[in-house]
Amino acid sequence: MSQDRNTDIELRLLIEAIYLKYSYDFRDYSGASVKRRVNHALRQFECATISALQERVLHDPSAFMQLLQFLTIPVSEMFRDPSHFLAIRQEVVPLLRTYPSIKIWIAGCSTGEEVYSMAILLREEGLLERTIIYATDINPSSLEKAKQGIFSMENVRAYTENYQKAGGQRAFSDYYTSAYDYAIFDKTLRENVTFADHSLATDSVFSETQLISCRNVLIYFNKKLQDRAFGLFHDSLCHRGFLVLGSKETLDFSAYSSHFEPLVKPERIYRKS
Amino acid sequence: MKKIFPGDDSNKQVLPVVDAIVVGASAGGVEALLKIFAGLRVGYRLPIITVLHVPEERRSQLAQVFQARLPIPVKEADDKEDVAPGTLYFAAPGYHLSVETDFSLSLSQEDRVFHSRPSIDILFQSAADAYGPRLAGFLLTGANNDGAFGLSCIKLSGGMTVVQDPDQAQARTMPEAALALFEPDYLLPLNDIGHLLVELERIAC
């Protein structure tokens, strides 16, 4: 048990050190997941203790960038939960269409799968040309991958099925060219996309938006940090703007639940009330 | 390792007081879970948190299926909800389920463990962290190695560990993986596991 207690103390010190040195704030992330990821990193870094890992990342910024790859979860896919995208197409797009210009914020965009999915959907609905998409993440390596728009062919095969179930109107292969085992996505899809470093834990609102998509990001936050994020989203959204979340994320337990109303609840699509 | 429950009266004396129960199952799991939960009655007060391996793509009907057959509240675990007494929770397909140290539940999408998300190891390990010795873990039928390591974490934290007898399991790989790793407190057939669940609650509440 005292071994466990040491681990918890070391973990808190590591997270604090990262915050003080690099301004990345993991202090209000869900503890169980952070602990697993740090333990996983320990093995890769060949450190015997979290204290040893802390010493490395404190004195070596490149080691911190490596650790950041463990602390963030780049699990994503295109058109994940196809019924969610179908609902956006059917219920949200007709309302978005009424705006002369549209700003969309994809918060925690990771390696870009959500961004390309949204861009493809908007192009098919004829809205992409008058939309600006802000795609943000805390992990610079993920953002770099997102900018390139190159995904493994093996994954793209699974995405194709998602795309079709999500109401896709063309052949999915129209949007990429394949080279060896990779699919290189059409760069015109990201002409109106601005990729930027932004933290929901430490940064503030940067633009008025009509729609915010933040999917499978908030589950890694504790309630306090979730409420901070909801506050940012609330301040950023225009009157009657849309907030879309991951399939197991909800506003129900949050301090902001009364500030939003569900538009398509099973698909986690909310509207600012 | 005890292979019979309740056995003689002395057995009951040694059962620990626990605050929660975690259960893991894979192939053959629905049938096994229905059997061990069959004895639960209205007013059962321990929380039971369960990972059953299910395909990731679909929405799961598990909570509805079990709710239709059990007299206690059953639900799919939501992110950040507090663990409520007397509730049977199932992990949602496609997400790992953890218990936080403040006894709330959290979801995550880290890599699959033994090709599984949700993973039994992740639930068991996090629950062992949160509850320490006041936890009982049950590992049932299954055709992969998920859960063995997690159950050993429960043992290490001083919790109680129970493995379904592989000879009576629909798939014996999972219970055998646990036995290969460490010696659990009990090795039991499903009927006895059902009695044990009832008895644990009687002692704890």
Q: Determine whether the interchain pair A32/B99 forms a contact, defined as Cβ–Cβ distance below 8 Å.
A: yes
Q: What is the percent of chain A where pLDDT is above 90? A: 94
pLDDT bucket at B70, cuts 50 / 70 / 90: very high
Q: Determine whether the interchain pair B95/A223 forms a contact, defined as Cβ–Cβ distance below 8 Å.
A: no
Q: Is residue A38 domain-shared with residue A6, that is, in the same domain?
A: yes
Render pLDDT for B93-140 as a digit per residue (tens, 0 to 9): 999 999 999 999 999 998 899 999 999 999 999 999 999 999 999 999
The pTM assigned to this predicted structure is: 0.93
- Report the distance separating Cα A175 and Cα A178, nearest Å: 10
Q: Which of A71, A97, A129 is the last residue of a domain?
A: A71
The answer, yes or no, to whether residue B12 has pLDDT greater than 80, is no
**Shortest Cα distance from B163 to chain A (angstroms)?**
24
Q: Is residue A151 domain-shared with residue A206, that is, in the same domain?
A: yes
- Report the distance separating Cα A33 and Cα A17, nearest Å: 18
* Residues in chain B within 8 Å Cβ distance of A220: 108
Q: What is the percent of chain B where pLDDT is above 70? A: 96
Q: What 3 state SS string does A106-134 have? A: EECCCCCHHHHHHHHHHHHCCCHHHEEEE
Cβ pair B181, B152 in contact under 8 A: yes
**Shortest Cα distance from B152 to chain A (angstroms)?**
14
**CATH number belonging to domain B18-204:** 3.40.50.180
Q: Is residue A187 domain-shared with residue A259, that is, in the same domain?
A: yes
Report, as an integer, the average pLDDT of B30-40. 97
Q: Is residue A53 domain-shared with residue A175, that is, in the same domain?
A: no
Q: Is residue A11 domain-shared with residue A123, that is, in the same domain?
A: no
Strand order in the sheet with A209-214: A193-197, A131-137, A102-107, A209-214, A237-245, A269-272, A260-264
Render pLDDT for A242-268 as a digit per residue (tens, 0 to 9): 999 999 999 988 999 999 999 999 999
Map residue A256 onto helix, strand or coil: coil
Q: Is residue A86 domain-shared with residue A13, that is, in the same domain?
A: no
Report, as an integer, the average pLDDT of B161-189. 97
> Which residue of B79, B99, B110 is in closest CB contact with A36?
B110
Q: Is residue A51 domain-shared with residue A173, that is, in the same domain?
A: no
The structure tokens listed for B156 are 């290490």
Render pLDDT for A56-78 as a digit per residue (tens, 0 to 9): 999 999 999 999 999 998 778 99
> Which residue of B78, B106, B132 is in closest CB contact with A33?
B106
Domain span including residue A29: 2-71
> Which residue of B94, B106, B158 is in closest CB contact with A30?
B106
pLDDT of residue A11: 97
- Report the distance separating Cα A229 and Cα A221, nearest Å: 9
Map residue A34 onto helix, strand or coil: helix
pLDDT bucket at A153, cuts 50 / 70 / 90: very high
CATH classification at residue A111: 3.40.50.150
- Report the distance separating Cα B153 and Cα B161, nearest Å: 10
Cβ pair B135, B22 in contact under 8 A: yes
Domain boundaries, chain B: 18-204
The structure tokens listed for B113 are 């463990």
Q: Is residue A181 domain-shared with residue A144, that is, in the same domain?
A: yes
Cβ pair A7, A50 in contact under 8 A: yes
Q: Which of A71, A96, A116 is the last residue of a domain?
A: A71
Q: Determine whether the interchain pair A1/B107 forms a contact, defined as Cβ–Cβ distance below 8 Å.
A: no
Q: Determine whether the interchain pair B80/A223 forms a contact, defined as Cβ–Cβ distance below 8 Å.
A: yes
Q: Determine whether the interchain pair B99/A219 forms a contact, defined as Cβ–Cβ distance below 8 Å.
A: no
Q: Is residue A138 domain-shared with residue A206, that is, in the same domain?
A: yes
Q: Is residue A102 domain-shared with residue A165, that is, in the same domain?
A: yes
What is the total count of domains within chain A?
2
